């Protein structure tokens, strides 16, 4: 995945403007990021910098230069600071789910169905962990998850109506998924709350819905990932979520553990929810301000 923008940020008092090198504005990729950064800079304190700064931002990074990114390889690129994804920002930190939690409008544990649930798109990194490129539909990790869960009691995993990202004929791919009974309509994230156990699995990189799932108070089983987002470093496996090996070799075992240790699974769901409730828009915004200060480059340093 490539870098999308080097931003030149000009600040005069509290007024901030941006331009991007070689990219016209407004731009579908950069505009949401600029809106988020402008909001954070305006709302969460003074930004101590020279009049003009350079901010490098990437969707995902393969370098070790000072930069902001949504996602990176875990433990890699220490000079890269992570910022919230734009879904988190545009939803004001998943405000609708937070409101439902705080007003007790979500099902409590006893009201949740004893079902392991996942619904998502077909996105995936084009290469497998062994370096080989994906050439068959069933090699896509999310498709493999759906096929694996077909053999697990009280589970429901399927690819949503959207399909894309790989050189497979769309019609044939959909027919294949339907023949395996793993192609179904999507549901809202709030509807996920009716299930006790939710799966989180990467797509192209991190699934941006992980924090949403934690907010729901269900027990989240997270497929191990080589990637991390801005809040990952404070997450603790077996406290906030249950880790699953990337090859799914322990998936059924961990699901069985959840059902035979229901009180522990319930507590993990509760702890995960409390963690997510603390990761508010303001908290994430203030962290981003610190990250901008660490990674931006005063233009006068080039003079």
Q: 106 and 81 share a domain?
A: no
pLDDT at 2: 44
pLDDT at 171: 78
**Cα 67 from Cα 57, distance rounded (Å):** 6
Domain count for the chain, please give it: 2
Q: 190 and 244 share a domain?
A: yes
Confidence of residue 6 (pLDDT cuts 50, 70, 90): low
Confidence of residue 65 (pLDDT cuts 50, 70, 90): low
pLDDT at 103: 97
Q: Residue 128's domain spans which residues? A: 95-278
pLDDT at 298: 62
Q: What is the pLDDT of residues 256-295, one digit of tens each?
A: 999 999 999 999 999 999 999 999 999 999 999 888 888 7
Q: What is the CATH number of the domain that holds 163?
A: 3.40.50.2000
Sign of CA dihedral 63, 67, 69, 71: positive
Q: 49 and 123 share a domain?
A: no
pLDDT at 272: 99
Q: 188 and 104 share a domain?
A: yes
Q: What is the pLDDT of residues 187-229, one digit of tens each?
A: 999 999 999 999 999 987 888 899 999 999 999 999 999 889 9
Q: 19 and 104 share a domain?
A: no
Hey, what long-range contacts does 254-263 have (CB within 8 A, 24 or more apart)?
Answer: 254/221, 255/116, 255/152, 255/155, 255/197, 255/221, 258/196, 258/197, 258/219, 258/221, 259/114
Q: Which residues contact 23 (CB under 8 A, 6 or more apart)?
A: 4, 5, 29, 30
Residue 89 to residues 46, 176, 198, 277: CA-CA distances in angstroms?
Answer: 20, 36, 23, 15
Asked if the model's pLDDT at residue 252 lies above 80, the reply is yes
| DSSP bridge partners of 73 | 227
Q: 169 and 198 share a domain?
A: yes
What angle do helix axes 30-43 and 281-295 make, rounded to 10 degrees?
100
Q: 109 and 256 share a domain?
A: yes
């Amino acid at each position: 995945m490539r870098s999308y923008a080097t931003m030149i940020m000009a600040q005069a008092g509290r007024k901030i403007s941006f331009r991007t090198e070689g990219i016209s504005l407004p731009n579908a990729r950069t505009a949401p990021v600029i809106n988020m950064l402008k909001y954070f800079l305006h709302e969460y304190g003074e930004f101590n910098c020279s009049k003009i700064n350079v901010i490098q931002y990437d969707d995902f990074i393969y370098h070790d230069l000072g930069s902001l990114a949504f996602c990176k390889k875990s433990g890699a690129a220490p000079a890269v600071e992570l910022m919230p994804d734009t879904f988190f920002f545009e939803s004001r930190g998943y405000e609708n789910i937070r409101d439902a939690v705080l007003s007790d409008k979500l099902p409590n544990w006893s009201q949740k169905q004893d079902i392991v649930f996942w619904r998502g798109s077909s996105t995936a990194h084009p290469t497998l962990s062994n370096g080989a490129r994906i050439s068959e539909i069933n090699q896509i990790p999310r498709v493999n998850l759906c096929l694996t869960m077909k053999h697990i009691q009280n589970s429901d995993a399927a690819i949503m109506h959207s399909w894309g990202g790989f050189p497979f004929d769309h019609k044939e791919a959909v027919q294949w998924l339907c023949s395996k009974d793993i192609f179904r309509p999507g549901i809202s994230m709030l509807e996920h709350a009716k299930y006790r156990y939710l799966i989180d699995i990467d797509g192209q990189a991190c699934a941006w819905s992980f924090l949403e799932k934690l907010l729901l108070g269900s027990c989240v089983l997270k497929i191990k990932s080589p990637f991390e987002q801005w809040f990952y470093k404070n997450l603790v496996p077996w406290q906030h979520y249950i880790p699953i090996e990337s090859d799914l070799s322990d998936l059924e075992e961990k699901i069985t553990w959840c059902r035979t240790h229901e009180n522990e699974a319930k507590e993990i769901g509760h702890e995960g929810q409390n963690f997510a409730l603390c990761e508010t828009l303001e908290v994430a915004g203030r962290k981003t301000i610190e990250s901008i200060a660490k990674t931006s480059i005063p233009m006068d340093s080039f003079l």
